[in-house]
Amino acid sequence: MVIPLPHRNSRTERSTVDIALVVPLSGPAGMFGPSCEACATLAVADINAAGGILEREVRLHPVDAGAPLPELAARIDRMVGQGRVDGVVGWHLSNARKVITPQTAGRVPYVYTTFYEGGEDSDGVYMVGETPDHQLFPAMRWLRAEQGIRQWCVIGNDYVWPRETARAAREFVDTTDLDIVGEAYVPLGGRDFRHAIDLIRRSSAQGVLIFMVGADCAAFNRVFARAGLDESRIRLSMMIGEDVLYAGGADSTRGLHTASGYFESLISPAGMDFGARYLREFGPIAPALNNIGESCYEGLLLFASLAEGARSLDLRAIERNAGRVSYDGPRGEVRVRGAHTTQPVYLAGADALEFSVLAELNS
């Protein structure tokens, strides 16, 4: 996996491109860390095999995004300020992004690989992940058209992404015949779901929008199924991969859906090649390959493409050229539009412990 590196000389003195890989290694999202690190390791191997970035070898410095936020901010500030890294890439929660951007803005490129609530416009930040108008809203439209799901409850963790995504969802349903009939929030790491379960049971909701993280999501799914709520209601969960299915168990997955730009089960030459190389590299006991880990591969490819396109790591040079950047990866051709990427998004349903793609969504 990724091995921490000792302190090196400043950016102007190094012959390498050094990147802080900020992924959760602890906390509720910690289960995603191993797949993030594995996919990032594969990306660096591919980038270096192709000549590196600007003819320089790429090296990763892992940073635990699950650390207390003040510590995380201070660490990124030191790494950037001391010239130890040329940029930041990673999958992490929006509350982590909120403390990282002040440390990178105007200083080094920062590629945020997570689907998120939208609205990020800090200087030098580029987003791989989907926003609600390309992921959540098309999924809700499809489930309305195909399964008649009109009324929803929102159950989320109590932090930026669930709150802001729920706000966006309320604004969206106001323009449709859909309705949100209840909301409940649980602290990160919390396990008392009684209020949420009672709210769902008493409501007219046909579906539940789950904006919960990793281990919290798996625990909620187990409680949801034990309460028998999966017999009459579907779930649409936005932050979920196969590792969450494993953690929750097959009995907790009936009627569970998600939407993403990548699924291991999606049949495409690029995706199948990526899955095969992942298996060859890390073996049959590798961390579960999922959309969250794969996004780190995408993020490093995007970082390399931005720098190569500009022939520079300078933010202004990258910004001037970003609109001409594209690359081919496991998701197919990805292009940069503003600070975001464009890519197909798919809806999938859980089939025991894996996801089966049901449809390509149109935003």
Q: What are the pLDDT digits (tens) for 255-276? A: 999 999 999 888 889 999 999 9
pLDDT of residue 343: 86
Summarize the confidence of residues 217-231 as an average pLDDT: 97
pLDDT in tens, 56-72: 999 999 999 999 999 99
pLDDT of residue 267: 87
Structure token pair of residue 207: 């579906």
Burial degree of 36 (CB within 10 A; 0-12, 13-18, 19+): buried
The label of the residue with tokens 């945020």 reads 112
Summarize the confidence of residues 201-227 as an average pLDDT: 97
Contact between 325 and 335 under an 8 Å Cβ cutoff? The reply is yes
Whether residue 55 is predicted with pLDDT greater than 90 in this model: the reply is yes
Give the ranges where 118-209 is alpha helix by DSSP (H): 136-147, 160-173, 194-202
Supply φ then ψ for residue 181, to 5 degrees: -105, 5
Element (H, E) at 222: helix 214-226
CA distance 323 to 244: 35
pLDDT of residue 12: 66
CA distance 360 to 363: 10
Q: What is the SS3 assignment for 179?
A: strand
Supply φ then ψ for residue 62, to 5 degrees: -70, 140
The one-letter amino acid code at 38 reads A
pLDDT in tens, 163-197: 999 999 999 999 999 999 999 999 999 999 999 99
Contact between 323 and 337 under an 8 Å Cβ cutoff? The reply is yes
Residues forming beta bridges with residue 347, ordered by sequence position: 259, 359
**% the chain with pLDDT above 90:** 89
Beta-carbon contacts of 7 under 8 Å, excluding residues fewer than 6 positions away, are 82, 84
pLDDT of residue 363: 60
The conformation of residue 53, written as its DSSP 8-state character, comes to: B
pLDDT of residue 14: 86
Whether residue 213 is predicted with pLDDT greater than 80 in this model: the reply is yes
Nearest to 162 by CA among 238, 64, 262, 224: 238
pLDDT of residue 284: 87
pLDDT of residue 220: 98
pLDDT of residue 129: 87
pLDDT of residue 5: 47
Contact between 8 and 14 under an 8 Å Cβ cutoff? The reply is yes
What average pLDDT is seen over the chain? 94
φ/ψ region of 214 (left if φ > 0, alpha if ψ in -120 to 50, else beta) reads: left
pLDDT of residue 9: 47
Which segments within 201-353 are labelled E, that is strand?
207-211, 234-237, 256-260, 326-329, 332-337, 340-342, 345-351
State the number of CA atoms in the 13 A half-sphere of 167 facing the CB.
Answer: 10
Summarize the confidence of residues 99-110 as an average pLDDT: 97
pLDDT in tens, 143-162: 999 999 999 999 999 999 99
CA angle 260, 282, 22 (to 5 degrees): 55
Summarize the confidence of residues 286-314 as an average pLDDT: 96
CA distance 203 to 206: 9
Residues forming beta bridges with residue 90, ordered by sequence position: 112
CA distance 71 to 137: 35
CA distance 95 to 333: 30
Contact between 313 and 307 under an 8 Å Cβ cutoff? The reply is yes
pLDDT in tens, 1-42: 554 444 444 666 789 999 999 999 999 999 999 999 999 999
Summarize the confidence of residues 311-320 as an average pLDDT: 97
The one-letter amino acid code at 33 reads G
